[in-house]
Amino acid sequence: MEPQAAAGVVLFDLIAGVDARLRALPTRLPRQAPPVERWVGILFRVGARRLLASLEQITEVLTVPDELTPLPGTASWVLGVANNRGTLLPIFDLAALTAGGAPTRRDADRVLVVRQEGLPCGLVASEVIGIRRFAVTERVAESPAELGVLWPFAEAAFPLADTLVPVIALERLLGAPLMSLGSA
């Protein structure tokens, strides 16, 4: 055999040996941690208080409409109704509801549109900060007590920047007698 051919055979045998040893090793896939179950919500502010609501409850976020038709004989926090793409949208001011007094307009105000029994309702928040995701295991069953009229509608809380941010059940809030009366 020629020296080049002999070197090729030796090289081939060497590669075949490495291949055989690698194939003999047990094959393991890298360990994968199970996916973390997430809770997704909208972080918003009512006055100085930060709150969360499940993303599933909110159908859209709007700027406060310029044209609102007032509803006579209702509480000050019932701002009126607006035409939202051909649908009447009753709008309630959460800051005026929780703090009392007359509503004031702010540039950062946004309307959280929530469907209550198929009908849309708008809740004015002082600011919509954005979507937040939390591991379900971070959920705290108890909410801070200083929520005023919103306390019965707090269903949990999540830690955010060293404070507990309550989760408010907006659909339950809208279905409460407090909201259906809306009278002064």
Q: What is the pLDDT of residues 85-134, one digit of tens each?
A: 898 999 999 998 888 777 778 889 999 999 877 889 999 999 999 999 99
The residues spanned by each domain of the chain are 38-181
Residue 143 has pLDDT above 80, yes or no: no
Fold entry, domain 38-181 = OB fold (Dihydrolipoamide Acetyltransferase, E2P) (2.40.50)
Q: How confident is the model over 102-115, as pLDDT tens digits?
A: 777 888 999 999 98
pLDDT band at 25 (very low <50, low <70, confident <90, very high): confident
What is the rounded average pLDDT of the residues 69-79?
A: 89
Q: How confident is the model over 51-60, as pLDDT tens digits?
A: 999 999 999 9
pLDDT band at 11 (very low <50, low <70, confident <90, very high): confident
**Taking all residues of the chain, what is their mean pLDDT, rounded to a whole number?**
87
Residue 182 has pLDDT above 70, yes or no: no
pTM above threshold 0.85? no
What is the rounded average pLDDT of the residues 148-172?
A: 92
Query: If you write DSSP's letter for every residue of the chain in order, what string do you get?
Result: --HHHHHHHHHHHHHHHHHHHHHHSPP-PPP-PPPPPEEEEEEEEETTEEEEEEGGGEEEEEEPPS--B--TTB-TTEEEEEEETTEEEEEEEHHHHHH-S-----TT-EEEEEEETTEEEEEEESEEEEEEEEEGGG-BSS--STTGGGGGGEEEEEEETTEEEEEE-HHHHHHSHHHHH-B-
Structure token digits, residue 85: 């793409």
Residue 184 has pLDDT above 60, yes or no: no
